[in-house]
Amino acid sequence: MFRRSITLLLALVAAVTWTTVGVGAAQAAQAPAHLTATCGPVPPQEMCVLETPHFPGGTIAVDVDVIDPGKGGFEAKWYLSGANGQFKHCVVTFKVDDPAQSWLCHGLNPGWTHLYVSKNPWMTASIGLRW
């Protein structure tokens, strides 16, 4: 009787430990992320790109700040493409003179996600993705 109780107790402890490790791994895979990039003007770039293969799907925050060292008055555009054919899923045109901004994009598929920021080559862009 005692041996059977010990065996059952050890099996229960092993099952709880295995479940906890599995849950921890799943939570780590879904942990929030914040990716950033800065591009241009050296070398001159008209397109700034940030990508990730690990987006879990759903809603993502897009952070963009484009700086024009000249007179200003220009517009820039960003668009977000998701996995499985979600080309240009979210598209926003904004004034370069505006301060840094953030937008939400909803309904993206899990997997590869690409942020593209189109700008004039002499401008600097700081971009980010958060989820």
Look up the CATH number of the domain holding residue 99: 2.60.120.380
Tens-place pLDDT, residues 19-69: 333 434 444 456 678 999 999 988 889 999 999 999 999 999 999 999 998
Tens-place pLDDT, residues 115-131: 999 999 999 999 999 99
Same domain as 61, residue 96: yes
Contact yes or no for 48/129 (Cβ under 8 A): no
Q: Which residues of 24-49 are buried (b: 16+ CB within 10 A; e: fewer)?
A: eeeeeeeeeeebeeebbbeeebeebe
Confidence of residue 73 (pLDDT cuts 50, 70, 90): confident
Domains identified in the chain, total number? 2
Whole-number pLDDT of residue 31: 63
The reported pTM is: 0.73
Whole-number pLDDT of residue 30: 60
